[in-house]
Amino acid sequence: MSTKVDHPQAAEIFNQLEERVNWHDAALWYVRQKRDHAASQVKGWEELRSLAAAIKAHTLSKLDEYLVQFEEAAIRNGAHVHWAIDADAHNQIVFDILRANKARMVVKSKSMLTEECGLNHFLEDKGIEVIDTDLGERIVQLANEPPSHIVMPAIHKRREEIDELFHEHLRTKLSGGDAVYLAREARKHLREKFLTADAALTGVNFGVAATGGIVVCTNEGNADMGVHSTPLHIACMGLEKVIPRDEHLGVFLRLLARSATGQPITSYTSYYKSPKPGNEMHIVIVDNGRSNQLRRSDFRKSLYCIRCGACMNTCPVYRRSGGHSYGYTIPGPIGSILSPGLDLEKYGSLPFASTLCGSCSDVCPVKIDIHSQLYKWRQIITEKNQQPAFKKMLIFITGFIFSHPQVYQIASNAFGAMVRFTPRFLINTLLITWTKHREFPQPGEYTFSQWRRMNRQK
């Protein structure tokens, strides 16, 4: 059923337009720099990260208890709580609630979980209209594309493309990509949707076990516009989103927006406990592979993730290959350690979409050891899959050379000479993929051992 994601191939397509890749790279690096500035303004930033990681470690160690506590409190507040084992169950639950309330049009604020479950298409097939109300999400929805980034869904789109998209779908005039004009037109368009929708769907950033409340962070105010203008609120929550108490919220809220966009906090941090009288509030707690990931001791820390996207913004591979090249809802480094847990066969190329530089782990606000996990997935994937004979032979030879110092001496001298005297076009074919977009460096005049003999052992 699943077609394999071929990241190198998809990245190659993205790289066909050099100017565009450079623009994408710079746009994300700018966000990374804003994150650095914001982090530097906080006294005790590193302690804050450690604290966040410790809270997550603790929460996972008592996850069942906290989920039950959360459920009980939410029910006391007057919310309905549902449990979904997988994406299909989640979609069916949401549809059943909508059908029971005769809802035909829903306004949705950003939720990567519903993307993960493919909720929009499921509901649309059943005749329910779904309107994404985050501007970036609306843009990709109109373009019939998935988001390419979890915080900035349309980061891959140029303003001129958005201009044409709006012209086609919202009948705006062509403005050459005037961001203010386009945002105002989207505001009018979405305002009308809020006022006519029958239900609101939101994600959940944090579920507080002690209070049964859910917290949603937005900049646009779209989650609240939807929830408060319709009689039905359905919140979809991954089961790893639960935290023990309100005081822990303080830790994560300080980290989240700063890591995501360099803002000190999002414009709105909305805490929903109970529906307003006469309204309904439903919370759908979703597993969809998460308890499985929890079982894998090497990879369970990936469940700490608070979906800030900092690892994407800093990743040299993500910035130059684009979110769509990963073929998974959550792209970039974090997606590359989450997705193999769901389907090793399908997402087997993703852990290789990394230089293992470790920058993702350095910026992660909850200290997930992302690059170590990427490396561990590589080992599992390499063991499982039949490697090409050429690669196997190469690895064998390399292993032999490195474990025999005398052979190594001879080989390194020979290799240096070979690179120096072989014509460039031959090297480029010999070492095929590596030299596709870069020059093979010229070796120095001496090997290290030769240099050392001349200079240190007189």
Partner 1 sequence: MAQDEQAKMSRDQILKEIRSSKPSKAPLSEIDIKQFSAASVLEEVFIRNVEAVGGKSIYVNDEKEVIKNIQNLFSGAKEIISFVKGIDLGSTVIKTISTARELDKLDLAVIKGQFGVAENGAVWISDKDFDNRLVPFIATHVVIVLNQRDIIENMHEACLRMSGFKEGYGVFVSGPSKTADIEQSLVIGAQGPMSVTVFIVNKRC
CA dist., res. 282 & res. 236, Å (int): 8
Residue 61 Cβ vs partner 1, minimum distance, rounded to whole Å: 4
The residues, ordered by sequence, that sit 6+ positions from 267 with a Cβ below 8 Å of its Cβ are 218, 219, 220, 221
Residue 344 Cβ vs partner 1, minimum distance, rounded to whole Å: 18
Degrees, nearest 5: CA angle 251-252-255: 95
Judged by beta carbon, residue 119 or residue 152, the one nearer partner 1 is 152
Closest listed residue to residue 216, CA positions, set 197, 231, 201: 201
Judged by beta carbon, residue 6 or residue 96, the one nearer partner 1 is 96
Residue 85 Cβ vs partner 1, minimum distance, rounded to whole Å: 5
Judged by beta carbon, residue 135 or residue 381, the one nearer partner 1 is 135
Judged by beta carbon, residue 151 or residue 364, the one nearer partner 1 is 151
Judged by beta carbon, residue 208 or residue 334, the one nearer partner 1 is 208
Judged by beta carbon, residue 258 or residue 371, the one nearer partner 1 is 258
Residue 226 Cβ vs partner 1, minimum distance, rounded to whole Å: 9
Residue 327 Cβ vs partner 1, minimum distance, rounded to whole Å: 23
Residue 8 Cβ vs partner 1, minimum distance, rounded to whole Å: 28
Closest listed residue to residue 351, CA positions, set 326, 329, 316, 384: 326
Residue 171 Cβ vs partner 1, minimum distance, rounded to whole Å: 18
Residue 82 Cβ vs partner 1, minimum distance, rounded to whole Å: 7
CA dist., res. 1 & res. 281, Å (int): 35
Judged by beta carbon, residue 41 or residue 422, the one nearer partner 1 is 41
CA dist., res. 147 & res. 157, Å (int): 10
Closest listed residue to residue 204, CA positions, set 132, 127, 269: 269
The residues, ordered by sequence, that sit 6+ positions from 405 with a Cβ below 8 Å of its Cβ are none
Judged by beta carbon, residue 152 or residue 334, the one nearer partner 1 is 152
Judged by beta carbon, residue 133 or residue 336, the one nearer partner 1 is 133
- DSSP label of 384: H
> Can you tell me which residue has the tokens 């789109």?
157
CA dist., res. 291 & res. 114, Å (int): 18
Judged by beta carbon, residue 13 or residue 195, the one nearer partner 1 is 195
State residue 251 phi and psi, 5-degree precision: -65, -50
The residues, ordered by sequence, that sit 6+ positions from 80 with a Cβ below 8 Å of its Cβ are 97, 280, 281, 282, 283
Beta pairing partners, 129: 105
Judged by beta carbon, residue 285 or residue 317, the one nearer partner 1 is 285
Burial of 132 (0-12, 13-18, 19+ CB in 10 A): buried
Residue 221 Cβ vs partner 1, minimum distance, rounded to whole Å: 3
Burial of 41 (0-12, 13-18, 19+ CB in 10 A): exposed
The tokens describing 172, both together, are 């705006």
Residue 120 Cβ vs partner 1, minimum distance, rounded to whole Å: 18
The tokens describing 166, both together, are 């709006």
CA distances (Å), 130 to each of 121, 123, 190, 203, in order?
9, 7, 12, 14
Residue 118 Cβ vs partner 1, minimum distance, rounded to whole Å: 19
